[in-house]
A and B are shown apart, each in its own frame.
With several copies, the nearest count.
Chain A
Amino acid sequence: MKKIINNPGNVVEEAIEGYMYAYKDSLTKVNNVNGIIRKDLKDKVAIIIGGGSGHEPLFLGFVGEGLADGVAIGNVFAAPTPNTIQDVAKSVDQGKGVLFIYGNYAGDVLNFDMATELLEFEEIQTQTVLVADDVASAPEERKGDRRGIAGDVVVFKIAGAASEKGWSLQEVVRVTQKAADQTFSIGVATAPGSIPGEEEPPFVLGDDEIEIGMGIHGEPGMKRTKLMEADDLTDELLDILLKESKIQTGDEVTVYVNGLGSTTLLELLIVNRRVAQILNKKGIKIYDMDVNSYCTTQEMGGFSITFLKLDDELKDLYDAPADSPYYKKTQKIGEEVK
């Protein structure tokens, strides 16, 4: 794999440097650790997100108004260290408590939990909401075992909006947990990504093979099958997603079609077309659709579909403005500021 990098051991540090050059007006690097925070911190509950690198723009791209206040960044595909998380938390805490939101992976849980213990000594109050949206990773009975994938982004969005409203830690946790509980995703992989500096891909798929439900680190999915037409593939994914999420006629959802890296926007839009057609046919209301590559795995091929089931409270928060380098939601001119 040809990668545009220098020393493979420095990719994360150098990418953060490059990011800071671009966004130094709105963001600040936390000293000595791979953490970034907003410049214009507000007197509110602080939202901290984090996880391994290699999934850009996740996680570092979502720090800003109406989103996260800080991000703790790990090495490629590795959770951030406890001291990174700790330093980021100390840098953003306004005495109103800190909410950690991250994807449900063993490594992340271990590191964030250790950070929580360390922060207790400093009397910083923390709470955690795990994103576990990948319905392919465990059956409903073991929902707590599900991995977090592209659904991260929509949960960050809700949490950021709630905290921006000045809600208490308890209230922000409540609504963020609600959003996480109502976020469901399913993915498919067509080609492996790579770890910068490693020659071998982390997994191999046959020339005409795809894997439904594969995780964003190449974790095995539900089944390997032949490449099929976009509509058939989308139908198959939607079948699983609708069954697992129990979303049905009359429900209202926001949809993310997320590219994993090298699957192009042209393809993602074709998938989105089918998603819209099926939801329309089933009488499931589409509140919004976002077609983007938010959660990638380097140049991995494939995509995921995410549904957030909305109620009035979540809609209100979803609509709130947001402004980070890789996710912006603008207030339409003439639209009432809520």
Chain B
Amino acid sequence: MSIETVNSVNTRQLKDMFLYVGDQVVACKPLLTKIDSAIGDGDHGIGMSVGFTKADENLKANEFTSINDVFKTIGMSMISSMGGASGIIFGTMFVGGIKGLETKVSLDLPLLAGIFNKALEAIKQRGKADLGDKTMIDALQPAVEALEKSAAANESLVEGLRKAEIAALQGVENTKQYIANFGRAKSLGERAIGHQDAGATTVLIIFKSMKEWLEGQENG
């Protein structure tokens, strides 16, 4: 690929991108474990590793003809292997946005923003949590908003992801101030304050890794 700005990825590139994302999340397992231990039950890193390892396996074992299939494979891998809250929640982050979507073979920023926006709604519906409840939504929602804003400004895919990462990071920071209303940290009350949410951290890692992979493509 050229050093030009990447404005869209095809099915094969999308698969490669998420293989890279998965590797990064798996590499962060100890960090996620530590964060979930502080206010949850300590298994978030393990769960995400299981999910992305399964996704990795299923991505590698198959050829894909649409980006819909890539998203679906990742999401269903998570839902069918992880269990726990995050199996459904992160699974829905991938399958929730492609429901009813016509078959696509390339992904640009507007489409990505649209998919994750729909996924966000699906997550909220399933999990009943909203912004400020100290969940992954606190990172995902601002990230989605950043994607949308960037798309509206006709910015490139990589630029959109850069902004999404920044927004997700801010979201993770925000979770430190919240008490938890969902998940295992729920009963913690005031004690949760000062600690960041594990799932939100995973969302940050996902956006950061998508961006890194794209940057790698630009510079490569």
Interface of A toward B, CB cutoff 8 Å: 9, 52, 74-84, 105-107, 110-111, 113-114, 137-138, 145, 147, 195, 197-198, 200, 202-203, 215, 217-221
Contact = CB atoms under 8 A, between A and B. Distances in A.
B37 A200 contact: yes
B166 interface: no
A131 B74 CA distance: 32
B50 interface: yes
11 contacts: A78-B47, A79-B85, A79-B87, A81-B79, A83-B79, A111-B84, A113-B126, A114-B79, A137-B187, A202-B42, A215-B184
Contacts of B126: 110, 113-114
Contacts of B81: 81
Q: Report which residue of A52, A80, A81, A215 has the largest number of chain B beta carbons within 10 angstroms of its beta carbon.
A: A81
Contacts of B186: 106, 145, 219
Nearest to B44: A78
Main secondary structure of the interface of B (DSSP, over half): helix
Contacts of A215: 184, 187
A203 B36 CA distance: 10
Contacts of A195: 42-43, 46
A76 B40 CA distance: 14
Given A107-B88, A195-B43, A200-B37, A52 B187 contact: no
A220 B83 contact: no
A203 B41 CA distance: 9
Nearest to A110: B88
Given A74-B84, A110-B126, A111-B88, A105 B184 contact: yes
A77 B37 CA distance: 12
Contacts of B41: 77, 202, 217-219
A46 B175 CA distance: 42
Nearest to B135: A106
Contact of B85 (A106, A145, A203): A106
A67 to B, nearest CB: 22
Interface in B5-41: 33-34, 37, 40-41
Given A75-B47, A195-B42, A111 B83 contact: yes
Given A198-B42, A220-B188, A106 B79 contact: no
A184 to B, nearest CB: 16
B183 interface: yes
B187 A147 contact: yes
B84 A202 contact: no
Given A79-B87, A114-B79, 8 more contacts: A75-B82, A82-B79, A82-B80, A107-B83, A107-B85, A202-B37, A217-B42, A219-B188
Contact of B127 (A78, A105, A110, A217): A110
Nearest to B186: A145
A138 B40 CA distance: 16
Contacts of B189: 220
Contacts of B87: 78-79, 81, 107, 110-111
A110 B84 CA distance: 8
Contact of A75 (B37, B46, B187): B46
5 pairs of A and B residues whose beta carbons are closest in the complex = A78-B84, A217-B41, A107-B85, A202-B42, A110-B88
Nearest to B189: A220
B89 A110 contact: yes
Contacts of A83: 79-80
A84 B82 CA distance: 11
B84 to A, nearest CB: 3
B191 interface: yes
B92 to A, nearest CB: 9
A145 B188 CA distance: 12
A147 B41 CA distance: 13
A52 B83 contact: yes
Nearest to A82: B79
Q: Report which residue of A52, A137, A195 has the largest number of chain B beta carbons within 10 angstroms of its beta carbon.
A: A195
Contacts of A110: 85, 87-89, 126-127
A198 B84 contact: no
B187 A76 contact: no
Contacts of A145: 186-187
B182 interface: yes
A251 B89 CA distance: 43
Contacts of B185: 219
Nearest to A114: B88
A61 B79 CA distance: 25
B107 to A, nearest CB: 26
A219 B187 contact: yes
Given A52-B83, A80-B83, A219-B41, A198 B33 contact: yes
Contacts of B34: 200
B127 A220 contact: no
B140 to A, nearest CB: 16
Contacts of A202: 37, 41-42
Given A217-B184, A219-B187, A106 B83 contact: no
A302 to B, nearest CB: 16
B83 to A, nearest CB: 4
A83 B189 CA distance: 33
